[in-house]
Amino acid sequence: MNILNAMRRQKLLSLSLLLFTLSIGILIGTLVNTAVRAEKGQSAARDASPLTIPSPAQLSTAFGQLARQLGPSVVNVTSTYGARQARQLQQTPRRRQPTPSPDEEEDQGGLDLFRRFFGSPFGDMPQLPFRGQGTGSGFIVDKNGYILTNNHVVQDADRIRVKLHDDPKEYDAKVIGQDFELDIAVIKIEAGRPLPVAKIGNSDGVQVGDWAVAIGSPFGLEATVTAGIISAKGRDIADPEHQLQKFLQTDAAINPGNSGGPLLDLKGEVIGVNTAIATATGGYQGIGFALPINMAAQAYNQIIKTGKVSRGGIGVNFRKGGPPELLKAYGVSEGVFVDTVTPGGPADKAGIKAEDIIISFNGKPIKDGEDLVSRVSATPVGSEATVEVIRDGKKREYKLTIAERAALFPDTVGGRRVPQEPSRTENTEAKFGFWYRNLTSGDRDRMGFDEKGGVLITRVDPGSFAEDIGVLPRDILIAINRQPVNSVDDVQRIQATVRPGQPVALRIMRGVPARTGRADWQTVFLAGTLPANP
């Protein structure tokens, strides 16, 4: 038995030794094979260093930080246009113009369709005015509520409303001043608190290839952030109404509604005001234009000081990009060939004529038309200047007084003038913001209104208390705060008892078109709190 146990132990020991030896061999073979492979890998490029994967890039984080930092200072701007302005904006070919919303277009079309088949139930009464609406962007540059935006976003608007970041309230804005040539406007809101301000940068330091971030409200979508690079500088998009504009071009997505928003660098500083797009479809196609902030700041500073932007002019017209042979034929290589002279302007009074070639301004050579416009426009209105020209191969020098550029060229650089308000002969109530008159028997017959009492509302002031609560032209006012209204005198009497901050309830009758060709009249109740400054 002892012999058998000894034999078993010996076999087990031998097996264990064999397994141990095999394990050592496998381990040594693996190490040798790995070393050989490593030797072979290094032998292909012994002097090469292995690639090292860096930490994740922080650029996306930088964009997010910019959005958080600048977002609160970027605002949404909505402009409302009356019937006359909306029609003019639709009929006037402009590269940027407010357009009515789809709902407004559909509503107007529905009214036209109804009138075509059933006629107007109101006879010669004024029709419901079409109101256009445009949206854009802007950014706060002063904590007291001053906002920089594009002029085309607010021009000719009856009412301008501003919505702040993360604030459901809409604030009425007033225009402080406009620069038609640079397409810049300054508007102001009363928020009742200090507002976050965008940091202004220096656009002169921007280089092609620099990162750029645009923030705005394209298509009405607030606080939209897009990124790209600066594609070019000093772009001129050949618009005679905006001759002074020299844009930063960017491929950061800019769409309708981005107008007036800021273009930022990666330091979070504003380097431009998003202004226009180059597109065949009306949408983003990779080319957007922003006015350099240095130009916009100069206009802003004049506006907050005087309410307008003043630039010098001498009253000469020239062809931009004319053939160089034209100058050579007159014996010069640089200068401005005068096509026409504005009658009564400084150049005309001084004796400058068509076919003269302007070669210097205040003693400094003039290279081309852009050089002349830049130099003259920067010269204060009313100051004296010296212009040197070539005429018939001889140099002549003229003294003149710089005039207001917009006054010399009102059709091209003066901007569209806001139409004068029509004469208003109706009685009006400033507290409520609607115009009204007594109903005649002829009105009642024509309108199919058989009830007694009431006054006819003929107009509603844009931005007024009446518009806010929903009063419409052609409504018939029946009662104010449950007191019957039978005449204009009743309105005057009742409104005298209402104070700002008090609730006002109106009972009106509103006509709904019917197939009979007359109107079905429905009772509508409207109410609101009379503001302190209606």
∠ Cα 170 258 417 (to 5°): 75
Which residues does 207 contact at the CB level (< 8 Å), separation at least 6? 230, 233
> How does 189-207 read in b/e, with b if 16+ C-beta sit within 10 Å?
bebeeebeebebbebeebe
Residue of 137, 203, 259, 464 marked catalytic: 259
Tokens of 125: 């009464």
Residue of 158, 183, 356, 490 marked catalytic: 183
Does residue 107 carry a catalytic annotation?
A: no
Which amino acid belongs to residue 484? P
Tokens of 7: 């034999």
Alpha-carbon torsion 62, 67, 68, 72, what sign? positive
Does residue 310 carry a catalytic annotation?
A: no
Residue of 73, 137, 152, 156 marked catalytic: 152
DSSP codes, 266-331: TTS-EEEEEEEE--SSSS--S-EEEEEHHHHHHHHHHHHHHSS---EE--EEE-TT--HHHHHHTT
SS3 call for 250: strand
**CA distances (Å), 90 to each of 21, 81, 150, 153, 284, in order?**
95, 11, 19, 14, 22
Tokens of 11: 């076999």
Contact status, residue 146 vs residue 304, Cβ threshold 8 Å:
yes
Distance CA 227, CA 252 (A): 5
**Which segments within 61-131 are labelled E, that is strand?**
74-81
461: left (phi over 0), alpha (psi -120 to 50) or beta: beta
Which residue from 142, 145, 184 is spatially nearest to 164, judged by alpha carbons? Answer: 145
Neighbouring-strand partners of residue 88: none
DSSP codes, 118-161: H--TTTTSPPPPP-EEEEEEEEEEETTTEEEEEHHHHTT-SEEE
Any idea what DSSP says for residue 200? B
Instruction: Report CA 323 to chain centroid distance, whole Å.
Output: 37
Does residue 383 carry a catalytic annotation?
A: no
Contact status, residue 121 vs residue 513, Cβ threshold 8 Å:
yes
Instruction: Please tell me the total number of residues recorded for the chain in this structure.
Output: 534
Active site residues: 152, 183, 259
